[in-house]
Amino acid sequence: MKLTTLAAIVAFSVTSINALCLLERDATSLATNFGKLVSNYSEALANQTLTPDFQDYSESVNTLFDAGGDSPIPLLAETFSSRAAFEGASAAQPAVPFAVKQVWHNCDTITVRWESAQSPKPVIGISVMQTRMSFSFPNPPVWQISEVWGEFDSGAWLTNLGILKQAAAGKMKRELAFQA
Ligand SMILES: *[C@@H]1O[C@H](CO)[C@@H](O)[C@H](O)[C@H]1NC(C)=O
Ligand SMILES: *[C@@H]1O[C@H](CO)[C@@H](O)[C@H](O)[C@H]1NC(C)=O
Atom of ligand 1 nearest to the CA of 42: 5
**Separation of CA 60 and ligand 2 centre (Å):** 27
Amino acid making up residue 107: C
Q: What are residue 124's phi and psi, to 5 degrees?
A: -105, 140
- Topology of the domain comprising 24-166: Nuclear Transport Factor 2; Chain: A, (3.10.450)
- Structure confidence by residue, pLDDT tens digits, 30-69: 999 999 999 999 999 999 999 999 999 999 999 999 999 9
The count of other CB atoms within 10 Å of the CB of residue 59 is: 17
The pTM of this model reads 0.83
Domain extents in the chain: 24-166
Looking at residue 139, its pLDDT comes to: 85
Tell me the pLDDT band of 175, cut-offs 50, 70 and 90.
Answer: low
- Structure confidence by residue, pLDDT tens digits, 105-143: 999 999 999 999 999 999 999 999 999 999 988 888 999
- Structure confidence by residue, pLDDT tens digits, 148-171: 999 999 999 999 999 998 765 556
- Structure confidence by residue, pLDDT tens digits, 75-88: 999 999 999 999 99
Pocket test for ligand 2, best of 37, 41, 47 (most atoms within 8 A of CB): 47
Pocket test for ligand 2, best of 43, 80, 82 (most atoms within 8 A of CB): 43
